[in-house]
């Protein structure tokens, strides 16, 4: 049989093929609409920003992994815009246009950008830099806040308070990452030292988080294999962390399967860096506004009052 017949015989391969084809066609049509507009330089940059965000939303609704985070995606918009009318960009080269577009996207209606999964060498042996340097790097990346989530260890509130005092108005919160067999879970909004235990079972942890109005998310699912050990269908977490730095190195099929899994569960998606070093900040979640306190942060995450973003 031909390659296309092989694809059609496999339902999932065909769904992937059709999804990619449809996405490409829609992206091309959107480029024609948004990048073909006449107007001032400012209006053209605004159109590029609108296109960027619309493509992102469209991709998620199609249950596709979104290329919006890749530098190549920004480069694609810049290339298409430059090809349509190089004279509209006031003498900029395509490279300069790409750089300017990237810088403007950093500042575009960000809201409150927070990375909910960060490690430091103060509490995680696998991390490279202490909390103070990690916060400095996050500030430099344009974030508004982060959550320190050490492995099986809550960060002292004294440390959190000191970081908040030094880096205000930047916000620092504490959470924890708990491993249960082969799966890792982020727990946010709770500070009882019982969370430092190493012998949690998932149902027990889930019930504890629910009883105390906390937040629980499955971190980087299918990072190491195509399955999940935990019965998350019966006890559904608040979200799955589909985008993180260590998921970038996972093969495409496994990342796509993780996204399908989140959609099958009917839970929200998180984008966090899982940063272990100052050069590892990449993803974030952009809240509609700054939360008044940690309780409101948890409420906003549960309610989905955020969009996925990137730390440049």
pLDDT at 171: 98
pLDDT at 309: 81
**Measured between alpha carbons, how far is 290 from 166 in angstroms, rounded to an integer?**
18
pLDDT tens sequence across 67-76? 444 556 788 8
CA angle 167, 155, 164 (to 5 degrees): 15
Asked if the peptide bond before residue 59 counts as cis, ω within 30 degrees of 0, the response is no
pLDDT tens sequence across 25-43? 777 888 889 997 888 999 9
**CATH 3.20.20.140 location in the chain:** 112-310
Query: Which residues of the chain register pLDDT less than 50?
Result: 1-2, 4, 7-8, 67-69
Q: Topology of domain 112-310, per CATH?
A: TIM Barrel (3.20.20)
pLDDT at 5: 53
**Measured between alpha carbons, how far is 223 from 226 in angstroms, rounded to an integer?**
8
**CA distances to 20, 48, 127, 167, 174 from 161, in Å:** 47, 40, 21, 10, 10
The three-state secondary structure class of 232 is coil
pLDDT at 59: 62
pLDDT at 15: 55
pLDDT tens sequence across 243-284? 888 887 777 677 778 888 888 899 999 999 999 999 999 889
pLDDT at 28: 83
pLDDT at 163: 98
């Amino acid at each position: 049989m031909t390659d296309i017949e092989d694809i059609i015989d496999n339902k999932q391969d065909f769904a992937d093929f059709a999804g990619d084809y449809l996405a490409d066609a829609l992206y091309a049509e959107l480029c024609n609409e948004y990048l073909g507009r006449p107007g001032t330089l400012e209006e053209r940059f605004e159109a590029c920003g609108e296109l960027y965000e619309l493509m992102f939303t469209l991709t998620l609704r199609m249950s596709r992994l979104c290329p919006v985070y890749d530098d190549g995606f920004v480069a694609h918009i810049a290339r298409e815009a430059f090809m349509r009318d190089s004279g509209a960009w006031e003498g900029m080269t395509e490279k300069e246009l790409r750089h300017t577009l990237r810088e403007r996207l950093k500042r575009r209606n960000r809201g409150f950008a927070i990375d909910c999964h960060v490690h430091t060498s103060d509490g995680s042996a696998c991390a490279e830099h202490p909390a103070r340097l990690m916060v400095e790097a996050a500030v430099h990346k344009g974030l508004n806040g982060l959550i320190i989530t050490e492995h099986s260890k809550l960060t002292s509130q004294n440390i959190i308070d000191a970081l908040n005092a030094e880096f205000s108005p930047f916000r620092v919160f504490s959470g924890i990452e708990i491993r249960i067999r082969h799966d890792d879970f982020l727990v946010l909004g709770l500070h009882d030292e019982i969370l430092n235990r190493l012998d949690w079972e998932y149902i027990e942890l889930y019930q504890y988080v629910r009883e105390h109005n906390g937040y629980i998310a499955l971190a980087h699912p299918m990072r190491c294999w195509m399955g999940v050990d935990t019965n998350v269908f019966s006890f559904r977490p608040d979200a799955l962390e589909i985008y993180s730095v260590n998921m970038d190195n996972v093969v495409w099929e496994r990342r796509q399967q993780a996204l399908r899994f989140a959609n099958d569960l009917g839970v929200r998606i998180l984008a966090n860096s899982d940063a272990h070093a100052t050069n590892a900040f990449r993803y974030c979640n952009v809240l509609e506004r700054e939360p008044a306190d940690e309780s409101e942060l948890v409420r906003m995450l549960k309610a989905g009052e955020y969009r996925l973003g990137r730390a440049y």
